[in-house]
Each structure stands twice: as structure tokens, then as C-alpha cells.
């Protein structure tokens, strides 16, 4: 069971990305579950003062687009990794996708 603080954070993340999901509650929860289980490479660079979090691709193009935008939002905030001076840099993979007419974003 998740803590109330976690649930509040998850709702905040969903509010940032609601427009990606036609059924926001169900699909958004699926996206977050996949995100929290998603492998990522964590690469510290003390010279540059960064800690790069490089996510692996998600299951579908829509989730990958949502992840890319979430990374951009997180990077704008310029978070520092706790108890360090390393700026966290989030990166989503560039996954090519063809959008056909009538396909939802």
C-alpha cells in the first residue's frame, strides 16, 4: 500500500500529464506504474556537476511522448540530488513513431 504522500505526488504527476490519456485515471495510473518500474541508467558526472537519469523506452509511443515531456518539466525545475550538489538531468529516449490521421496523441 502506498503512503498518502506518495499518492499526493502521483496525483500531481498525473495532473501534469492528463492530456496524454483519454481515460486519465486508468491510463495515467498505468503510465506511472510503468514509469516507477522502468529501468534507467544513472550516470554521475562530478566534473559537470550532474547526475543523469537516462530512462529506457516505455511500452508504447504515447507513454514515451509523455515521459519525454515529463523529463523536460523535471529538468526545468533543476533538482539537486539529496546531500550533493549534483543537478539531476532526466532524459527520455527518442523513439520514432509515425502518427496517422485520426490517431490520438
Per-residue pLDDT for the chain (105 aa), expressed as one digit of tens each?
456 666 788 788 878 777 777 776 778 888 888 999 999 999 999 999 999 999 999 988 888 998 998 999 999 999 999 999 999 999 998 865 555 555 554
Domain spans of the chain, in order of start: 4-91
Contact by Cβ (8 Å): 66, 31? yes
The secondary structure of 14-55 as a DSSP string is HHHHGGG-TTHHHHHHHHHHHHHH--EEEEEETTTTEEEEEE
pLDDT for the residue numbered 90: 97
Contact by Cβ (8 Å): 48, 35? no
pLDDT for the residue numbered 94: 81
Amino acid at each position: 500500500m502506498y503512503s498518502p504522500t506518495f499518492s499526493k505526488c502521483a496525483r500531481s504527476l498525473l495532473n501534469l500529464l492528463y492530456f496524454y490519456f483519454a481515460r486519465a485515471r486508468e491510463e495515467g495510473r498505468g503510465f506511472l506504474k510503468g514509469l516507477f518500474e522502468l529501468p534507467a541508467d544513472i550516470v554521475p558526472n562530478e566534473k559537470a556537476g550532474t547526475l543523469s537519469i537516462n530512462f529506457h523506452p516505455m511500452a508504447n509511443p504515447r507513454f514515451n511522448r509523455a515521459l519525454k515531456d515529463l523529463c523536460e518539466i523535471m529538468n526545468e525545475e533543476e533538482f539537486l540530488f539529496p546531500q550533493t550538489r549534483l543537478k539531476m538531468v532526466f532524459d527520455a529516449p527518442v523513439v520514432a513513431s509515425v502518427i496517422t490521421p485520426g490517431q490520438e496523441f
